[in-house]
Structure 1
Amino acid sequence: MTQPTFRIAYLDRPMYPSFDETLARAPGVELIRIAPTQADEDILATLATCHGYYVMASRDELPKQWHVTSSLLATLPSLVLAVSYGAGYDTIDVDACTHAGVAVVNQAGGNAQGVAEHAIGMMMVLFKRIPEAQYAIIAGTAAQRDALMGRELSGKTVGVIGLGNTGSRTAALARALGCPVLTYDPYLDASTCEARGARKVELDALLADADAVSVHCPLTAETRGLLGAAQFAAMKRGAIFVNTARGSTYDEAALHAALVRGQLGGAGIDVWEQEPPARDHPLLAHPAVIASSHMGGVTHESRDRVARMAAEAFIDAAAGRVPQRLVNPGVTAQFLVRLGATLGEPAAAS
């Protein structure tokens, strides 16, 4: 008896060519590219026949009608697995997926090195005041070299908000540079944080003591707006703020105000409420800001890694196995029942 084909679709393009390359060698799968230029009804008709959906993770890159919401799920009776392009899954309503019996998988850890290097690189550039120096050269106001006296990152206290895969890697790189590391992560105990190279503290203590604060938490109901005017005011005067995690975890206007009044010495921002930010965004005009557009994990190495991880999740499902990195593990029993029906045989628990 021929095993049913597990159909996987994505819109526009994969994260990296290795996604297609990995699945091309896998048995029992059919990979379908959907051109976003098609009419919505045609896109929906194709998605409705698929068992897996490879979903762009950046909310501003994927048209909202193709975010995995309860309304979209209601039109996709065959869907059993939604796999995010990256570590984030802003475009996927996890609760709605759980209710529908759809497993959600992300690629946590796949881009940790790239993002951690981005965060540390921003810290170094900001402590050396390189953005301000470039601004002065372009403006024709560059004067004596010591007018923009910098600082060395080595020996500075680094505060890491969120000590998961990327936060832990950032902490390791900071320690290698001789930096003591504090962390705020309410989901980890002190011994776990210590094993990951950081001392667990409350958020107010981290803000008061850190010379550089680096954000590495996901965007959730708890972390939305986590850092606002009060938190920036509580930071050390002259401290550096870096965010390579998610926009909406911090208040952009409050950050700008803290920079203008000199409370903060600089900011490195890779993630924004709107991505990319508008050209006239006030933060982009501040000389002590270094900006990028959600590209911390956009390296060949990271993209190759996360693309292969995503492909392997679909391969597991096509073989009747529960994929690794389930964001909603509570769906497992229902997922296995639905997967078994899809494959025409009982699915395995692992």
Structure 2
Amino acid sequence: MQNSADRDPAPTPTGPVRVAILDDYQDVATSFAPWSEAPLDLELSVHRAPLADDDALVAALDGCQVAVLMRERTPLRRAVVERLPDLRLVVTTGRANSAIEADLGVMVCGTDSSSAGPAELTWALVTALRRHLIAEDRAVRAGEWQSTVGEALEGSTLGVVGLGRIGTRVATVGQAFGMRVLAWSANLDHGRAREMGVEPVAKDELLAASDVVSLHLRLSERSRHTLGEPEFALMRPGAVLVNTARSGLVDTAALCRALESGRLGGAGLDVFDREPLGPKDPLLDAPRTVLTPHLGYVTRQNYRIFYEQALEDIVAFYAGSPLRVVQDARRP
């Protein structure tokens, strides 16, 4: 194994730069950036299928100088990097990736991302739950007509947990629908919330008063299981939960119990403890759910940002002027 401190942080290429693009589920990575026009000789290997374990990841990255990761689809640990002596640069789409170990041993660069996609998907899930769109679609196909009675958004209460870039967009749309909007997070700026017309409240108050609760926190040890058994017990009977942020914010077992008991009116989920979702995952059988395969950031506009800037990161790294640095292995 080669110690990361022994690696030239930005070597001059003497041949093709081998770049592994991981988790390109839709097989579109090469179409969203001008890879062939780069001022480097890039040799791309594109991996569509999820990699099962560390050994599969090492095999995929063996001999590569650069790895391009799509969000948190594949975890990357220092122990893996130590088995990859040629690896010099990791590019993650987005500026934060909780699946990358903090002290990776090589440089990590990121990209920008748009908050529009996750906010839009949040409202797709909210409306699907409140108007029973999945059930009504199936009913129409079965020859039935108007089998449910939905709930209007106007006049109801939205609880936004986390008022950052995405949470702010979600709150603004809620106001446009005529909803009362509450917000809570551990570091909430109460003054900014009030300026937006959003009511800052305690977490318990938000849960007890909201008809719709939407999660928009970053996952950390402090935020893990922000919603668990005690919190679901506080929620208004029939309220719905939407999570387009991170699955770890919710105790999944407690969520399933709240759905099975009928206390929770429904859950719209775009993120899961294990992705892709396994065939025996209990959420597949949980009632009143709308499940999407982590689509929040999956838009043509966002993918273009991701892959164009990933290419920029690679070129800048080999020019000796790295861009959007997330981790700098050259620091002591």
Aligning the two structures, in what range does the TM-score lie when normalised by the shorter sequence?
A: 0.7 to 0.9
1-structure distance, mates of 2:281, 2:185: 30
**CA separation of 1:183 and 1:229: change in aligned 2, threshold 3 A:** same
**Mapping 1:85-164, distance limit 5 Å:** 85-86=93-94, 89-93=97-101, 95-97=102-104, 100=105, 102-107=106-111, 109-110=113-114, 112-134=115-137, 145=146, 148-164=148-164
Counterpart in 1 of 2:178?
Answer: 178
Identity of aligned residues (%): 29
Counterpart in 2 of 1:210?
Answer: 210
User: How far 1:119 sits from its partner (Å)?
Assistant: 0.7
2-structure distance, mates of 1:120, 1:44: 38
**CA separation of 1:265 and 1:34: change in aligned 2, threshold 3 A:** closer
What amino acid is the match of 1:91? Answer: A
Contact 2:213 2:242 in 1 (8 A): yes
2-structure distance, mates of 1:216, 1:153: 19
Counterpart in 1 of 2:20?
Answer: 10
2-structure distance, mates of 1:197, 1:83: 38
- Count residues in correspondence: 313
Query: TM-score of the superposition, structure 2-length normalised?
Result: 0.78
1:46 aligns with 2:63: yes
Q: Does the residue aligned with 1:163 lie in a helix, a strand or coil?
A: coil
**CA separation of 1:8 and 1:290: change in aligned 2, threshold 3 A:** same
1:72 aligns with 2:89: no
Q: Does the residue aligned with 2:63 lie in a helix, a strand or coil?
A: helix
Counterpart in 2 of 1:246?
Answer: 246
2-structure distance, mates of 1:137, 1:223: 41
User: How far 1:13 sits from its partner (Å)?
Assistant: 6.2
1:32 aligns with 2:44: yes
CA deviation profile, 1:71-114 (whole Å, cap 9, x unmatched): 12323456454221346624311x222xx3x343444533x211
**CA separation of 1:310 and 1:298: change in aligned 2, threshold 3 A:** same
What amino acid is the match of 1:32? Answer: L
**CA separation of 1:139 and 1:232: change in aligned 2, threshold 3 A:** farther
Counterpart in 2 of 1:266?
Answer: 266
What amino acid is the match of 1:57? Answer: R
**CA separation of 1:200 and 1:77: change in aligned 2, threshold 3 A:** farther
What amino acid is the match of 1:236? Answer: R
Contact 1:19 1:310 in 2 (8 A): no
1:275 aligns with 2:282: no
Q: Does the residue aligned with 2:169 lie in a helix, a strand or coil?
A: helix
**CA separation of 1:214 and 1:11: change in aligned 2, threshold 3 A:** same
* Structure 2 alignment gaps of length 5 or more: 1-10
**CA separation of 1:293 and 1:72: change in aligned 2, threshold 3 A:** same
Q: Does the residue aligned with 1:46 lie in a helix, a strand or coil?
A: coil
2-structure distance, mates of 1:36, 1:7: 20
Contact 1:224 1:248 in 2 (8 A): yes
1-structure distance, mates of 2:312, 2:198: 32
Matching residue within 37, 52, 55 for 2:69 = 55
Q: Does the residue aligned with 2:76 lie in a helix, a strand or coil?
A: coil
Query: TM-score of the superposition, structure 1-length normalised?
Result: 0.74
User: How far 1:234 sits from its partner (Å)?
Assistant: 1.1
CA deviation profile, 1:248-293 (whole Å, cap 9, x unmatched): 2212221122123232211111111122333454433344211112
Counterpart in 2 of 1:340?
Answer: none
Q: Does the residue aligned with 2:265 lie in a helix, a strand or coil?
A: strand
1:302 aligns with 2:309: no
2-structure distance, mates of 1:178, 1:223: 29
What amino acid is the match of 1:30? Answer: L
2-structure distance, mates of 1:313, 1:301: 18
Contact 1:132 1:288 in 2 (8 A): no
What amino acid is the match of 2:39? Answer: P
What amino acid is the match of 2:99? Answer: T
User: How far 1:212 sits from its partner (Å)?
Assistant: 0.8
CA deviation profile, 1:134-190 (whole Å, cap 9, x unmatched): 5667889x68x4x63211123322222223332222223223322333222324422
1-structure distance, mates of 2:280, 2:70: 27
**CA separation of 1:200 and 1:317: change in aligned 2, threshold 3 A:** farther
Write 1 or 2 for the structure with the bigger share of helix: 1
Aligned Cα root-mean-square deviation (Å): 3.5
**CA separation of 1:198 and 1:80: change in aligned 2, threshold 3 A:** farther
2-structure distance, mates of 1:156, 1:87: 34
User: How far 1:127 sits from its partner (Å)?
Assistant: 1.1
